[in-house]
Structure 1
């Protein structure tokens, strides 16, 4: 999509304008270089190897291919995304620091915590959606559990001593929702990210986890973890023999996560729109569809305005889910 800017509008934007990709002749006359003209830093709230990290790196490669500028991934895991979100919110508003994050920081945290060190709405300029994905319930391969019903029975037998891991709001809330809907007592063990949690699950330090598909899939394929159920409404294309949570005895159970890009609030609109265009192009092709399908997700893009509306609706949806899961804000 080529942005058209007439001369009057262009002159009106000059005080805040850092770039004009749509009117190169005017930009050249004004002495403004095309954006981007230097490396871009992408902050990610989760560790390397996580599903969000994978999405960020895919987008980074495409931005580099489209612009010739390098993109540096800055993983800042921990504190339920607080560290990364705050770093991004206070970064310079020049278009060279972007946050690639999830519903954790921009939808769920508002209901999980009484107070946040950042404002998901006021502190950020939405850029574009990137992908969405379901999750998968996994146990160690040698676990006696093969179905959701068996997991529930074991949890009740152990009277709350069964443990589950989380590395994001999605992975926690999905398990808390399972507990409420099934009546299965279990102890929550938080981690900074999903990869570390999966390592401990394979080491039998944790009993089960509902996790992002991307980091879990190779472990399932390698015979180190067993997939019990998926959280999507229909069976997942990567796990056609694995039932949904609803099929497993929990009617109406459905939960999906998403990934999106944000700039700090105050970033000039032309830069936001140019980056949105780059991301839309990155995920709007067969290579992106195939990549996200292999990692358990679905490529998905949006305009900044569409993402603004989406985040608003998702915040309300996650608030209802968190309430249904019985989670009290910390």
Structure 2
């Protein structure tokens, strides 16, 4: 029997046409094909850095590709955000960002080299944690009330250590409520602040509780107050700032993973889905419990809405404290 060449050609074309969508789908689902990196705009040792390493390790396990953590501190987070903005928008570069670079920097800094909304989009919220007011271990102050009274009476402003514009704004808010002035001493990260507060080179500091908890429990620094709605379960003897006479003061620092806004939807969805699985594990819950934080498992849309709410909140704080972009 002779084979009809025209019919055979038609069958071949039909089979190829049917296979093309499958091939395309396989190509789209290939992400990720190689290692990813997470840019952290702060030095090692902070709560943000610890979160990036934990969730980066779990993300590597979920995606089957290495995840490299790259600390790019400096300029209140701007160096890290600029590096992420300059990277290809392919999903292989993630930036861990907090309320400081994503909400506060636009309020306090002129000529910002990135736009938090236009240049980046969230792939998942991760966690939120309280701040803590610390003094050196041999400080004469045993309460926030004593510290504020001394700051009011001091001949010169006290030196306060912070490592981002978010913490500086939080300190400005406390100072405006307490009626005192301070001299901000900016750092690239929390670890050097802890060194200087232990050594008595700072009068006090406002930092992430998660990165300071062990030093507090070891007696190497003294905690006067935490910024949460309630006391931290790991430090039940440390009062809140609200309990210390500032009823309106509640402040949390949060961290989230972002990618370039032009990142393809398929890659964004892959990353977001993987992170939602990780956040819904006992291991993730145990990690944030150890650090004294809370999970913030916000999917992309919810995280974007939350960020807008936070931008409005920090704007009100900045206006109340009389802060303008400089």
TM-score by length of 1: 0.89
The 5-angstrom pairing of residues 45-124 of structure 1 reads 45-124=41-120
Note closer, same or farther for the CA distance 1:32–1:245 as it changes in structure 2 (3 Å cut): closer
- Of 198, 204, 207 in structure 2, the residue corresponding to residue 208 of structure 1 is 204
Q: Which piece of structure 1 moves more, 296-305 or 202-211?
A: 296-305
Secondary structure of the equivalent of 2:126? strand
Does the 8 Å contact 1:90/1:264 carry over to 2? no
Q: Secondary structure at the match of 1:137?
A: strand
Give me the whole-angstrom Cα distance separating, in 2, the residues matched to 1:217 and 1:270. Answer: 39
The partner residue of 1:194 within 185, 190, 206 is 190
Aligned counterpart, 1:316: 312
Pair 80,222 (structure 1): closer, same or farther in 2 beyond 3 Å: same
User: 3-state DSSP class of the match of 1:41?
Assistant: strand
- In the alignment, does 2:206 pair up with 1:219? no
Aligned counterparts of 2:298 and 2:158: Cα–Cα separation in 1: 41
Number of the residue aligned with 1:233: 229
Distance 2:149 2:112 in 1: 37
The alignment partner of 1:215 has SS state of: coil
What is the alpha-carbon distance in structure 2 between the residues aligned to residue 216 and residue 244 of structure 1? Answer: 16
2:139 aligned with 1:143: yes
Listed one character per residue, the Cα deviations across residues 146-171 of structure 1 (whole Å, up to 9, x for unaligned) are 11110012112323331101101232
Deviates more, 1:117-126 or 1:33-42: 33-42
Q: CA-atom RMSD, angstroms?
A: 1.5
- Aligned residue in 1 for 2:4: none
Are 2:126 and 1:130 aligned? yes
Structure 1: tracts of 5 or more residues without a match: 1-24
Q: Deviations over 1:264-293 (max 9, x none)?
A: 121001111110111111121111111111
- Count of residues in Structure 1 that have an aligned counterpart in Structure 2: 306
* Structure 2 SS opposite 1:159: coil
Worse-matched range after superposition: 71-80 or 160-169: 160-169
Take 2:121 and 2:273, find their aligned partners in 1: how far apart are those partners?
Answer: 15
Q: Which of 297, 302, 319 lines up with 2:298 in the alignment?
A: 302
Q: Which runs of 5+ in 2 are unaligned?
A: 1-20
Distance of 1:326 and 1:163 partners within structure 2: 20
Larger-gyration structure (1/2): 2
Give how far 1:35 is off: 1.7
Question: Aligned residue for 1:276?
Answer: 272
> 1:233: how far off?
1.3
Q: Secondary structure at the match of 2:139?
A: coil
Instruction: Name which of 24, 34, 48 aligns with 2:30.
Output: 34
Q: Cα distance, 1:36 vs. partner?
A: 1.3
- Asked whether the 8 Å contact 2:97–2:256 carries over to 1, the reply is yes
Contact 1:284 1:299 in 2 (8 A): no
Contact 1:97 1:263 in 2 (8 A): yes
Question: Would you say the 8 A contact 2:130–2:251 is kept in 1?
Answer: yes
Distance apart, 1:71 and its partner CA: 0.3
- For residue 188 of structure 2, give the secondary structure of its aligned residue in structure 1: coil
Aligned counterparts of 1:104 and 1:228: Cα–Cα separation in 2: 23
